[in-house]
Amino acid sequence: MQGNAKVFILMAAMTGLVMALGWMLGGQGGALVALLLAGGMNFFSWWNSDKMVLRQQGAVELNPQQGGDLYRLTADLARRADLPMPKLYLLPTEQPNAFATGRNPENAAVAVTQGLVRSLSRDEIAGVIAHELAHIKHRDTLTMTVTATMAGAIAMMGNMMLFTGGRDDRGGGLGAILAMIFAPLAAMLVQMAISRAREYEADATGAQICGQPQALASALAKISQMAGRTLNIPAEKNPAAAAMFIVNPLNGLRMDRLFATHPATEERIARLMALNGGRGFAPERPSPIPRSGGRPDDGPWGRG
């Protein structure tokens, strides 16, 4: 409940930023228009978020035959989480990573990368998928879509103030310049704070779903290490989606510790180990999905 209260407060702050910028642009009427504009953008993103993100990332949907054991594993974890089976997608990148999207549990999708399937053990993959199912269960996909859209609206209004100067009685040109610079920055920081709060919750719930906190901890350690040296080109082209991934996918090029979209991996692992009674974990051997059951990278998108 504490995490949900924090998210509510942060989203209220984001809404306040939208209205404040609208007020600086056009007084009370501007604040109302800004709020309505943000609401319209949120509805559009809420309805289309899964399609937009999956298309941007080059995702390929897997049916039960193509997905093989990976599909069956996801279906089993969804049953444990008391969720409908989400659509399953494969992302054509060698960086191990994953994300969930969709406006509600009935219209959700889980996407994993080729690199994840090839690099992690079956138990570790189960931990990652359970983490993403936890996001769906908590409806974090909706929360992050709304905050990303509002952050985009704030940035747009900040740019508008550069050309309009805002209302003369609210600080003139200097006020407009300060708002243009600091409002989008504040929105970005709020968005990141929300993302970090949701990751801790998803780790804890994901560990409960898969029943193996140590497997999820081991997966996070591997993904974090490999993501830092493997370029995820679709994510680099669409950095606004970085907060959706289980581990920041932009580590290949960007120095973004200051503006981190995720909690420190070490802290996430420590919390998972506390759930595991402090026993630690031993990283498992890779290549978990048996070819006899069909692997996603057996398909044409998995060939080098």
Nearest to 190 by CA among 266, 100, 259: 259
Nearest to 174 by CA among 183, 186, 165: 165
Task: Exactly one of 61, 106, 124, 132 is catalytic; name it.
Answer: 132
Instruction: State the Cα–Cα distance between residues 289 and 66, nearest whole angstrom.
Output: 12
Contacts of 240 (CB under 8 A, 6+ apart): 148, 151, 152
Q: How many CB atoms lie within 10 A of CB 47?
A: 12
Amino acid letter, 86? P
Nearest to 273 by CA among 218, 214, 200: 214
Ramachandran class of 213: left when φ > 0, alpha when ψ lies in -120 to 50, beta otherwise: alpha
Amino acid letter, 217? A
Q: Is 236 a catalytic residue?
A: no
Q: Is 235 helix (H, G, I), strand (E, B) or coil?
A: helix
In this structure, what is the dihedral angle of CA atoms 111, 112, 113, 114, given to the nearest 10 degrees?
-120
284 marked as binding residue = no
201 marked as binding residue = no
199 marked as binding residue = yes
Q: Are 238 and 56 in contact (CB under 8 A)?
A: yes
The binding site for Zn(2+) consists of 131, 135, 199
- Residues forming the active site: 132
